[in-house]
């Protein structure tokens, strides 16, 4: 029995039609992240930030899980050991692909958060800066997304899993955003084998023990099939 920790990024949802961030034409080449993905940007212009995430929510809700999401759900269900699935993605395609207990370290586009009292609830398809919090009525509603400068969610649980991992796998992530980018080092230092699955190898050579290249919808099911 062994323990696998999987980290996914935007690349796993790319073939479901959701844009990545840093590839050619990616979201951060078209939008200023300091305006739409920071607490300061939200304080300056909440309507702009809601517009940006309303568009992300519409895209995510209209997208369908692909073969890679489904293969990871199958792995979690059928593997003899432990599988911990951590995602940087805010879409719910892992869940709709059949995965349970997905750790959304950067939050979820389908959830709303009150910036005044911390209450959380299911987000409507379209959010508005004037929406009052259902718990405290403050008009400080925001998407339940972790912005730059904020602490990702569930870090204690993730680090515990990394330190107990026999295998760490990063799928469809550029490895440019910390702390997620450092998970490979934590797992490696704890003795885990490390594997990257990406359309192309990420720029730091030798960071992973093994690299599988190819589109996630092909590479991930092939890798899962090799384990089951
Ligand atoms: P990036 O856009 O930085 O990287 C996407 C990665 O997916 C790249 O390495 C691509 O090579 C790879 N990729 C693209 N298409 C693929 C495919 N079909 N199959 C396999 N791989 C593919 O996205 P992330 O690494 O997820 O955070 O970005 C990390 C964080 O930066 C996001 O969670 C978001 C963003 O700012 C916040 O907003 C807080």
Q: Which residues are catalytic?
A: 106
Do residues 191 and 114 share a domain?
A: no
CB distance 103 to ligand 1 below 6 Å: no
**Residue 103 near residue 86, CB atoms below 8 Å:** yes
Q: How far is the CA of 26 from the centre of ligand 1 (A)?
A: 9
Looking at the 3D structure of the chain, how many domains does it have?
2
Taking only the tens place, the pLDDT of each residue in 199-209 is 998 888 789 99
Do residues 198 and 119 share a domain?
A: no
Taking only the tens place, the pLDDT of each residue in 13-36 is 999 999 899 888 899 999 999 999
In the numeric block, which tokens belong to residue 186? 């934590």
CB distance 87 to ligand 1 below 6 Å: no
Q: How far is the CA of 15 from the centre of ligand 1 (A)?
A: 12
- The closest-lying atom of ligand 1 relative to the alpha carbon of residue 8 is 26
Which of 145, 168, 192 lies at the terminal end of a domain, its last residue?
Answer: 145
Do residues 88 and 11 share a domain?
A: yes
Do residues 133 and 209 share a domain?
A: no
- In this prediction, the residues of the chain whose per-residue pLDDT falls under 50 are none
Residue nearest to atom 9 of ligand 1 (CA): 174
Do residues 83 and 2 share a domain?
A: yes
Q: What is the DSSP string of the chain?
A: --EEEEEE-THHHHTTT---SSSTT-HHHHS-HHHHSSHHHHHH-HHHHHHHHHHHHHHHHH----HHHHHHHHHHHH-SSEEEEEE---S-HHHHTT--S-EETTEEEEEEEETTT--EEEPPSS--TTPPPTTT--S-EEEEEPPTTSPPTTHHHHHHHHHT-SEEEEES--S-STTGGGHHHHHHHTT-EEEEEESS--SSTTSSSEEEES-HHHHHHHHHHHH-
Question: pTM for the complete prediction?
Answer: 0.96
What CA–CA distance (Å, rounded) separates 224 from 77? 12
Q: Single out the residue of 83, 130, 88 nearest to residue 105, CA to CA.
A: 88
Do residues 31 and 82 share a domain?
A: no
Do residues 75 and 137 share a domain?
A: no
Do residues 80 and 27 share a domain?
A: no
- The closest-lying atom of ligand 1 relative to the alpha carbon of residue 88 is 33
Tell me how far the alpha carbon of residue 82 is from its chain's centroid.
Answer: 20
What pLDDT sits at residue 206? 84
What pLDDT sits at residue 1? 55
Do residues 208 and 100 share a domain?
A: yes
CB distance 174 to ligand 1 below 6 Å: yes
What CA–CA distance (Å, rounded) separates 165 from 58? 35
Do residues 183 and 217 share a domain?
A: yes
Domain that holds residue 127: 19-62+110-145
CB distance 215 to ligand 1 below 6 Å: yes
């Amino acid at each position: 029995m062994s323990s696998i920790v999987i980290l996914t990024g935007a690349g796993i949802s790319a073939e479901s039609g959701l844009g990545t961030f840093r590839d050619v034409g990616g979201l951060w080449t078209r939008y200023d992240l300091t305006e739409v993905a920071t607490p300061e940007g939200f304080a300056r212009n909440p309507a702009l930030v809601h517009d940006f995430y309303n568009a992300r929510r519409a895209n995510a809700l209209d997208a369908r899980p692909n073969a890679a999401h489904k293969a990871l759900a199958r792995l979690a269900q059928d593997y003899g050991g432990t599988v911990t699935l951590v995602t940087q993605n805010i879409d719910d395609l892992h869940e709709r692909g059949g995965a349970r207990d997905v750790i959304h370290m950067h939050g979820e586009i389908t959830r709303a958060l009150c910036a005044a009292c911390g209450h959380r609830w299911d987000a409507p398809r379209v959010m508005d800066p004037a929406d009052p919090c259902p718990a405290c009525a403050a008009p400080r509603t925001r998407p339940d997304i972790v912005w730059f400068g904020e602490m990702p969610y569930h870090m204690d649980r993730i680090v515990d899993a990394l330190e107990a991992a026999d295998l760490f796998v990063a799928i469809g992530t550029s490895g440019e955003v910390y702390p997620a980018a450092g998970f490979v080092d934590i797992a490696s230092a704890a003795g885990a084998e490390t594997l990257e699955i990406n359309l192309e190898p990420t720029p730091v050579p030798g960071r992973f023990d093994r690299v599988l290249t190819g589109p996630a919808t092909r590479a991930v099911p092939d890798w899962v099939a090799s384990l089951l």
